[in-house]
Amino acid sequence: MYPLLFRTVLSRMDPESAHHAAMAVIRLLGVPPFSWAARALTRPDPALHTRTRALGIDFDSPFGVAAGFDKDVVGVRGLAALGFGHVEIGTVTALPQPGNPRPRLFRLIPDRAVVNRMGFNNHGAEAAAARLRRLRRRGTRMRIGVNIGKSRVVDVADATADYVRSASLLAPLADYLVVNVSSPNTPGLRGLQAVETLRPLLEAVRDASGATPLLVKIAPDLPDDEVTAIAQLAVELGLSGLIATNTTIARDGLATDPATVEAAGAGGLSGAPLKARALEVLRIVRRAVPSEFVVISVGGVETAADVQERLDAGADLVQGYTAFLYRGPLWARQINRGLVRR
């Protein structure tokens, strides 16, 4: 039924409005008895399992939700009920901010892709910390990563202190913490990926994060040698892992009408067109790091075969986001059952 609903209703809605409507349903699915019904639909045969271990903790499935879907820690319980093994909330900034002006989210339906220039819209680190505390008090089993970024009003020169503030508030409440220096939608942010500027930033956030596993998220647009250099830096600094990759600023080889692509404008492209480069970056990173170093792969993942391909290429965990828009609420169930069969 979902493909019909998407074609006839959702695809005609403003994408951001459709996302908010979906999040309202997902929040409802986190509340009994709706959560019980959702779990009954989405869990694979209990005699089988997709459990995996990474970052020193157990995950019910290697497949989770990438950052950007639940920016403000409002849908965690519903996403758990839908069968995802973890959710990476955020990107959270130290200061609350509205993000870029709307419209800022665009579908490229022929490519099963999305362009976004959201601009880290979120309620800030203190609000996210308060919601995480409530979740922890309720004893949620969902594994929760927290993705942190630079507040827009903070100069790049002062970015380290801004990240450290977010880390201090959120690391104690997270299963893992991610330093996002790769979004194309915050001016100057991607410049922080240069090794000479990234080193002091990661050192400071690492020290502020305590025992919480720390990862860094990189862009797919980096040259291969810079991908290797960042991966090696992360190992040298004692980080727990790396996430490959964020969205891309490239627009090569798209099937969507060029006028539609041009109308969407600037922003990060995600979805199926990112698949090949995300897999390539995963393999580059895996060759550059030791086996115990965790690599989370994201970008262009849609099917159980895609997830298995990433696992076979050395990913410890796999994340998706864009295909959720095209596959619907049973997406995680389809992935998990496909992994069991494989």
Q: Is 75 annotated as a binding residue?
A: no
pLDDT (0 to 100) of residue 47: 43
User: What residue segments make up the domains of the chain, in order of their start?
Assistant: 2-341
pLDDT (0 to 100) of residue 46: 47
Alpha-carbon distances, residue 267 vs 2, 96, 105, 106, 278 (angstroms): 27, 21, 9, 10, 17
Structure token pair of residue 336? 């998990």
- 168 classed as catalytic: no
Q: Is 140 annotated as a binding residue?
A: no
Give the orientation angle of helix 304-312 with respect to helix 275-288, to 10 degrees. Answer: 20
pLDDT (0 to 100) of residue 263: 96
The CATH H-level (homologous superfamily) assignment of domain 2-341 is Aldolase class I (3.20.20.70)
Angle in degrees, CA 89, 83, 119, rounded to 5: 25
pLDDT (0 to 100) of residue 31: 74
Contact 212, 145 (CB under 8 A): no
Closest to 213 in 3D by CA, of 245, 193, 243: 243
pLDDT tens track of the chain, all 342 residues? Answer: 888 999 999 999 999 999 999 999 998 887 776 655 656 655 554 445 788 999 999 999 999 999 999 999 999 999 999 999 999 999 999 999 999 999 999 999 999 999 999 999 999 999 999 999 999 998 888 999 999 999 999 999 999 999 999 999 999 999 999 999 999 889 888 989 999 999 999 999 999 999 999 999 999 999 999 999 999 999 999 999 999 999 999 999 999 999 999 999 999 999 999 999 999 999 999 999 999 999 999 999 999 999 999 999 999 999 999 999 999 999 999 999 999 987
Q: Is 217 annotated as a binding residue?
A: yes
Closest to 315 in 3D by CA, of 283, 275, 268: 283
Catalytic residue among 183, 209, 240, 297: 183
Name the residue type at position 134. Answer: R
Q: d(Cα 218, Cα 227) in Å, to the nearest integer?
A: 8
Cross-strand bridge partners of residue 108 = 113
Cross-strand bridge partners of residue 218 = 244
